[in-house]
Amino acid sequence: MMKTSQHQSECPMAEPEATRMTRTRIPTEHGDFQLCFYSNTLDSKEHLALYMGDLSSVESVLVRVHSECFTGDVLGSRRCDCGEQLDRSLAMVAAAGVGVVIYLRQEGRGIGLLEKLRAYNLQDQGYDTVDANLMLGHGADERDYSLAALILEDLGVPSVRLMTNNPAKILALEAAGITVSERVSLAVNANFDNADYLLTKAQRMDHLLPLKPVRKTQSAHES
Ligand SMILES: Nc1nc2c(ncn2[C@@H]2O[C@H](COP(=O)(O)OP(=O)(O)OP(=O)(O)O)[C@@H](O)[C@H]2O)c(=O)[nH]1
Ligand SMILES: [Zn+2]
């Protein structure tokens, strides 16, 4: 699908558009995915979608809308649950045979990597993940899901079974025109390094997390 944005500068209120630039096969440990690269008229980031199977073969498609986390996704940082969630969502799509993982470049809940790293330093001084963002002059969560909705539209996916623990993400996708027929839990095990962070997400950001106590005497390398 090709959409153009030639009138955007003349009309600042124009609806955002996403354009699939190319698609290629990516073999992973979970099987072969199709990777789609999107350009868009909202920002200059490289948003992506990985999918498997015939997306028109099911009424409601298993979907993960993942927000970029360099530290968690690439480095395997234990400060958060992102890397494990990404891996688990790919595995769940592979097990289902049909599904999509959208990879939105909204690092640090939209504040970017530099500011997220500064927020980590504040968290090491005792502030939680919400207050650290606020102290840096940001909102607690600055993400926007309109591009995820456009990507789903491009893939012909109007209805999703969304892998998430975040009720705000469900509401945002529905506001953008996507039907969320079901929430599929994507909880991962807490570890010594992310237990407080997950607790804050449950208590201050309403994430639906079944939290088990983590022994504080545990080594940082145990789970
Ligand atoms: N600003 C900030 N961003 C963080 C922090 N920890 C993780 N992130 C970012 O948070 C985003 C992931 O959001 P989460 O709150 O973990 O989860 P979610 O996507 O809202 O919800 P789920 O769908 O359940 O995963 C990624 O962009 C991470 O880079 C933090 O302490 N501060
Ligand atoms: Zn993370």
What is the number of the ligand 1 atom nearest to the C-alpha of 163?
Answer: 23
pLDDT, average across residues 185-211: 84
Averaged pLDDT score across all residues of the chain = 90
Beta bridge partners of 99: 52
The strand order across the sheet containing 18-28 reads: 18-28, 31-40, 47-52, 99-104, 61-67, 159-163, 179-184
Residue 175: CB atoms within 10 Å = 11
Instruction: Give the model's confidence band at 215: pLDDT under 50 very low, under 70 low, under 90 confident, else very high.
Output: low
For residue 210, the model assigns a pLDDT of: 77
Cβ neighbours for 77, distance < 8 A, ≥ 6 positions apart: 69, 71, 83
Instruction: Give the model's confidence band at 211: pLDDT under 50 very low, under 70 low, under 90 confident, else very high.
Output: low
Is the shortest distance between the CB of 169 and ligand 1 below 6 Å?
yes
Question: According to the annotation, is 107 in a ligand binding site?
Answer: yes
Is the shortest distance between the CB of 89 and ligand 1 below 6 Å?
no
pLDDT at 9 over 50: no
pLDDT at 5 over 50: no
- Judge whether 25 counts as a catalytic residue: no
What is the number of the ligand 1 atom nearest to the C-alpha of 197?
Answer: 31
Helix (H, G, I), strand (E, B) or coil at 144: coil
Do residues 161 and 60 make contact, with C-beta atoms less than 8 angstroms apart? yes
Q: Which domains does the chain have, with CATH numbers?
A: 18-106+143-204 (3.40.50.10990)
Lowest mean pLDDT among 4-8, 126-130, 186-190, 215-219: 4-8
Cβ neighbours for 206, distance < 8 A, ≥ 6 positions apart: 166, 167, 168
pLDDT, average across residues 68-97: 96
pLDDT, average across residues 14-28: 95
- Judge whether 131 counts as a catalytic residue: no
Q: How far is the CA of 14 from the centre of ligand 2 (A)?
A: 32
Residue 206: CB atoms within 10 Å = 12
Distance CA 109, CA 67 (A): 7
Lowest mean pLDDT among 10-19, 64-73, 151-160: 10-19
What is the number of the ligand 1 atom nearest to the C-alpha of 113?
Answer: 29
120 alpha carbon, closest ligand: 1
pLDDT in tens, 103-123: 999 999 999 999 999 999 999
Q: How far is the CA of 77 from the centre of ligand 2 (A)?
A: 7
Is the shortest distance between the CB of 106 and ligand 1 below 6 Å?
yes
pLDDT at 1 over 70: no
Q: How far is the CA of 57 from the centre of ligand 1 (A)?
A: 31
Instruction: Give the model's confidence band at 76: pLDDT under 50 very low, under 70 low, under 90 confident, else very high.
Output: very high
Distance CA 110, CA 42 (A): 13
Cβ neighbours for 16, distance < 8 A, ≥ 6 positions apart: 40, 41, 42, 146, 147, 150
Q: What percent of the chain has pLDDT over 90?
A: 77
For tokens 């073999």, the residue is 27
Our CA angle for 59, 32, 87, nearest 5°, is 80
Do residues 113 and 147 make contact, with C-beta atoms less than 8 angstroms apart? no
pLDDT, average across residues 5-34: 82
- From 73, 128, 141, 161, the catalytic residue: 141
Question: According to the annotation, is 137 in a ligand binding site?
Answer: no
180 alpha carbon, closest ligand: 1
Lowest mean pLDDT among 4-13, 21-30, 156-165: 4-13
pLDDT at 10 over 80: no
